[in-house]
Amino acid sequence: MRRAIVAANWKMHGRLAMVRDYLAGLQGRDGEYDSVELLLCPPSVYLPALGRGLDAGAVGLGAQDCSPEGEDGAFTGEVSARMLADIGCHYVIVGHSERRRRCGETDALVAAKFAIAQAAGLTPILCVGETAAQRDAGEAKETVKAQLEAVIGQVGIAAFGSASLAYEPVWAIGTGRAATPETAQSMHGVLRQTLASHDGDIAERLRILYGGSVKPANAAELFAQPDLDGALVGGASLVPKDLLAIVAAAAAAAAAAKH
User: Which pLDDT tens digit goes with each residue over 68-113?
Assistant: 999 999 999 999 999 999 999 999 999 999 999 999 999 999 999 9
List pLDDT tens digits, range 173-201.
777 777 899 999 999 999 999 999 999 99
Ranges of beta strands (E only) in the chain are 4-9, 36-41, 59-63, 91-94, 123-128, 164-167, 207-211, 230-233
pLDDT of 31: 64
pLDDT of residue 86: 97
Kindly name the residue from 96, 98, 105, 188 that is annotated as catalytic. Answer: 96
Q: Which amino acid is at 221?
A: E
pLDDT at residue number 60 = 92
Could you give the number of structural domains in the chain?
Answer: 1
Angstrom distances, CA of residue 254 to CA of 3, 32, 50, 183 = 8, 14, 27, 20
* 60, amino acid identity: G
**193 close to 165: Cβ distance less than 8 angstroms:** no
Q: Which residues are CB-contacts of 7 (< 8 A; sequence separation ≥ 6)?
A: 39, 40, 41, 62, 91, 93, 125, 166, 209, 230, 231, 232, 233
pLDDT computed for residue 40 by the predictor: 96
Of residues 37, 98, 130, 168, which has the active-site annotation? 168
Rounded Cα distance between 95 and 64, Å, is 10
pLDDT of residue 186: 96
* pLDDT value, residue 27: 82
Mean pLDDT of the 10-15 span: 97
Give the model confidence (pLDDT) of 118-136 as tens digits.
Answer: 999 999 999 999 998 999 9
> What is the band of 34 on the pLDDT scale with cuts at 50, 70, 90?
confident
Catalytic residue check, 96: yes
Q: Is the pLDDT of residue 224 over 90?
A: yes
Average pLDDT over residues 6-28: 93
Q: In CATH, what number is assigned to the domain containing residue 179?
A: 3.20.20.70
Name the residue range of residue 145's domain. Answer: 4-257
| Mean pLDDT calculated for residue range 153-179 | 90
Bridge partners of 38, per DSSP, are 6, 59
